[in-house]
Amino acid sequence: MPIKKTNYLFKKSLKMRSLIILMLAFLCLFQTELPAQPLETKVTLNYQQVRLAKVLADIKSKYGVGFSYANNLIPLDKKMNLAVTDKPLGQALTDLFKETGISFTLVGGQVVLRKGAIKPKRRKPLPKPVPNEKTEIGSVPKNEESDQNATASLLPVPELSTENTEGEPIDKQNLTRDFQIEKKNLQKNYLSQMDVAMENNDSAMASNLQNDFQRLNQKLKKQFRELVKSAKEVDWKSVFKTSGKDSVQKSKGKSLIQVSFVPPMSTNGSSNANTTNNLSLNILAGYSGGLEGIEVGSLANVIKGNVTGVQVSGLVNVVKQDVKGVQVASFLKTNGGRLEGAQVAGFLNASKSDSSNAVQIAGFGNLNAGDLYGGQVSGYFNVNNGYLIGPQVSGFINVNNGPILGAQAAGFLNINNGNLNGAQVAGFMNIASKNVQGSQVAGFINVSGKNINGVQVAGFLNRAKNVRGSQVGVINIADSVSGVQVGLFSFSRNGYRRLEVFGMENLHSNLAFKIGSKKFHNIFTVGINPFESSPRWSYGYGFGSEFDLGKNFNLNLDLVCNQVQENSKKWNEDLNLLNQFKCNFGYHPGKRTTIFAGPTINVAVSKVKNAETGAIGLDMIPDWNFMNELYTNTRVGIWAGFNAGVRF
């Protein structure tokens, strides 16, 4: 090549390299101006009592950060407060969700929101016992050992104390309240973490969570029993103590007793909407600002604020804020805030609370808009839109839109749109949109949208994605099975399927198709003797199991019932059965082929009559039979046989 041309190419290459280096340097400078990830984006936000849904939409609009979450699990209507200036988005979200139990993580450029663990309510730490002199050096005292195990737990460790944060002793009533709070928090944390384990099909994590939950639950109960002995008694006099005259109570928004005919015809007069009563008697209906005690009305009770105590009405109870206690009505009871206690109605219970710790009991239906820790019992339907810890029991239908820790039992239909850790029992159908850790039992159909770790039992059909356990029904369908499918037809997309070509002493040419799982599969067979003047043929159905005996050997145990057609050119519906138990030993030289052979025990039961000879029974019963007897119009024959073939 000429020297001038070589120099030209070299200079051109040098210019290209310089241009590439310059472009890379420019990109690096530009890259330094971008945040490493969305959570490090500096943000300035200011919200006062703004709905969470609006906050998330505003952050997305301002900073281009997308959020992913389940609408029924995240409290989008909750009013939020946040004020940050030039802080990373991750820190701002941590401050925003501090009191909500919501956790977040970055997945593929989007911030995924999930209900996180609730931290235990901490009071003054319990004093640690001083080790006695007998404790060996280097050993771990029993109480410290348990603390170390608890620290390693997958769940936050609940804790109780007989003292509050100021070091003052608390009474048994408040200790019991704290125990119930810690117990419910432990259950919710368990369900939240189990939800993650089930979503990821992590059986090891699920098992560890179950062990942790049982251990911490027992520990909490033991701690409560020990502390309640040293807690002081409730000073009931101070609870009901009043000072001054009734007019003074009213001026402070309190009234010991209210008597009402219909609002505003009451002893509180025009101030009833701003008055909290200890005892309220409503001849027809009553309206007040709050209740701290007992309210009884013949028709309706309406409370503008909170209720602590008992409401009893002949028709309806309405509370616009929180309820701590019991509501009893014959027709309808509604609650606009948090419910702690019980709702009992002859017709309908309704609670709009984001999170309730209560039992709803109704003759017709129960409705709850958020999380519910307790249960729902009704004569017709139950609906819950969040987490459910406890049972849903109805005469007709149960619907839950979040995860369940407990059971759904309905006379007709159960629907759960989250993960289920427990059981679904229905007279007709169970539907679980996600994973099931437990069981589904239905009179007709069970459906699990994802995986089931347990058992499905249905009168007709079971359907699941991946099964770790068993399916029992007429028809069982799954993508994969690690266990047993028991039914007349079982199908697993990634399961056991075999085709056999074999012969035996009385039917020379046979095909068998096996489908299901190794441990239990269905068998469909057809056979024929083609070289006879009047061909004998059969069709049959049965069950079988396969066991590995080594690297290249296996054992098949099959039980098959065949209906045999013989001595007739037309279809014969008379009983003519050849029942077989087959024990086949197989050798598979390759991956997809097995050569097998083995003995059979044959039992013939026949009512077929030979048109020419008049003899009753199968012509195929051999001379070496163990039994060949005629009982009235039925012949029974028993003999040993042999079969051999190839399995694909």
pLDDT band at 396 (very low <50, low <70, confident <90, very high): very high
- Whether residue 393 is predicted with pLDDT greater than 80 in this model: the reply is yes
- Whether residue 21 is predicted with pLDDT greater than 60 in this model: the reply is no
pLDDT in tens, 47-101: 888 888 788 888 888 888 877 765 556 777 778 888 888 888 888 888 888 777 7
pLDDT in tens, 237-260: 554 454 444 443 444 578 888 888
Q: Which residue has the tokens 């149960």?
A: 398
State how far the Cα of 121 lies from the Cα of 113, in Å rounded to an integer: 23
What's the pLDDT at 134? 36
pLDDT in tens, 118-136: 444 444 444 434 444 333 3
pLDDT band at 355 (very low <50, low <70, confident <90, very high): low
pLDDT in tens, 61-74: 888 887 776 555 67
Q: Nearest CA to 355 among 75, 59, 554?
A: 75
- Averaged pLDDT score across all residues of the chain: 78
pLDDT band at 11 (very low <50, low <70, confident <90, very high): low
pLDDT band at 211 (very low <50, low <70, confident <90, very high): confident
What's the pLDDT at 120? 45
Percent helix, strand and coil across the chain, each to the nearest 5: 20, 45, 30
pLDDT in tens, 259-303: 888 887 888 887 878 888 888 898 888 888 888 889 898 888 888
pLDDT band at 458 (very low <50, low <70, confident <90, very high): very high
* Inter-residue contact 501 to 645 (CB < 8 Å): yes
State how far the Cα of 237 lies from the Cα of 629, in Å rounded to an integer: 92
What's the pLDDT at 119? 46
Residues 6 or more apart whose Cβ sits within 8 Å of residue 554: 546, 547, 548, 585, 586, 588, 594
Report the predicted TM-score, pTM, of the whole model to 2 decimal places. Answer: 0.63
If one compares 125 and 213, the residue with the highest pLDDT of the two is 213
pLDDT band at 386 (very low <50, low <70, confident <90, very high): confident
**How large is the average pLDDT for residues 393-400?**
92
